[in-house]
Amino acid sequence: MTLEFWSFPTVQEAATAAKEAGAAYIGGGTLVVRAVNEGDVSITRYVRSNDPGLSRIELDGGQVTLGASVTMSRIASDERLGFIAAAARAVGGPAIRNMATVGGNLFAPSPYGDFATALVALKAELLVGRKWVGIDDFLAARESSADIVSAVRFRLPEPGVLRFLKVSRIKPKGVAVLTLAAVLRTGADGRVSHASIALGGMADRPMRAKAAEGALTGATLTAEGIASAVAVVGEGTDPPTDALASSWYRREVLPVHFRRLLLS
Report the C-alpha gap between 121 and 123 in whole angstroms: 5
Mean pLDDT within 24-50: 86
Mean pLDDT within 34-52: 88
Residue 251, pLDDT > 80, answer yes
Phi, psi (degrees; rounded to nearest 5) at 228:
-65, -40
Residue 212, pLDDT > 70, answer yes
Confidence of residue 44 (pLDDT cuts 50, 70, 90): confident
Contacts with 234 (C-beta within 8 Å, 6 or more apart), sequence order: 202, 251, 254, 255
Residue 35, pLDDT > 90, answer no
Confidence of residue 172 (pLDDT cuts 50, 70, 90): low
Q: Please state the pTM of the whole predicted model.
A: 0.94
Report the C-alpha gap between 164 and 217 in whole angstroms: 19
State the pairing for strand pair 192-200/207-208.
antiparallel
Mean pLDDT within 206-230: 98
Confidence of residue 42 (pLDDT cuts 50, 70, 90): confident
Residue 1, pLDDT > 70, answer no
Check: CATH 3.30.390.50 for 162-263? yes
pLDDT reported for residue 64: 99
User: Rounded mean pLDDT of the chain?
Assistant: 94
pLDDT reported for residue 180: 98
Q: Write down the domain spans for the chain.
A: 4-49, 53-155, 162-263
Fold of the domain built from segment(s) 53-155: 3.30.465
What is the side-by-side order of every strand in the sheet holding 45-49? 4-8, 45-49, 23-25
pLDDT reported for residue 110: 86
To 5 degrees, how large is the angle CA 133–CA 64–CA 145?
25
Mean pLDDT within 246-260: 98
Residue 159, pLDDT > 90, answer yes
Task: Please say whether the beta carbons of 199 and 257 come within 8 A.
Answer: no
Report the C-alpha gap between 75 and 114 in whole angstroms: 14
Mean pLDDT within 55-78: 98
Q: How far is CA 141 from CA 116, 135, 144, 234, in A?
A: 15, 10, 6, 22
3-state secondary structure string across the chain = CCCEEEEECCHHHHHHHHCCCCEEECCCCCCHHHHHHCCCCCCCEEEEECCHHHHCEEEECCEEEEECCCEHHHHHHCHHHHHHHHHHHCCCCHHHHCCCEHHHHCCCCCCCCHHHHHHHHCCCEEEECCEEEEHHHHHHCHHHCCCCEEEEEEECCCCCCEEEEEEECCCCCCCEEEEEEEEEEECCCCEEEEEEEEEECCCCCCEECHHHHHHHCCCECCCCCCHHHHHHCCCCCCCCCCCCCCHHHHHHHHHHHHHHHHHC
Report the C-alpha gap between 116 and 49 in whole angstroms: 22
Quick one: what percent of the chain has pLDDT higher than 70? 99
Mean pLDDT within 195-201: 98
Mean pLDDT within 224-240: 98
pLDDT reported for residue 147: 85
Amino acid residing at 62 = G
CA pseudo-torsion sign 120, 126, 132, 136: negative
Residue 173, pLDDT > 80, answer no
pLDDT reported for residue 169: 87
pLDDT reported for residue 170: 81
Confidence of residue 143 (pLDDT cuts 50, 70, 90): confident
* Largest separation between any pair of C-alpha atoms in the chain: 64
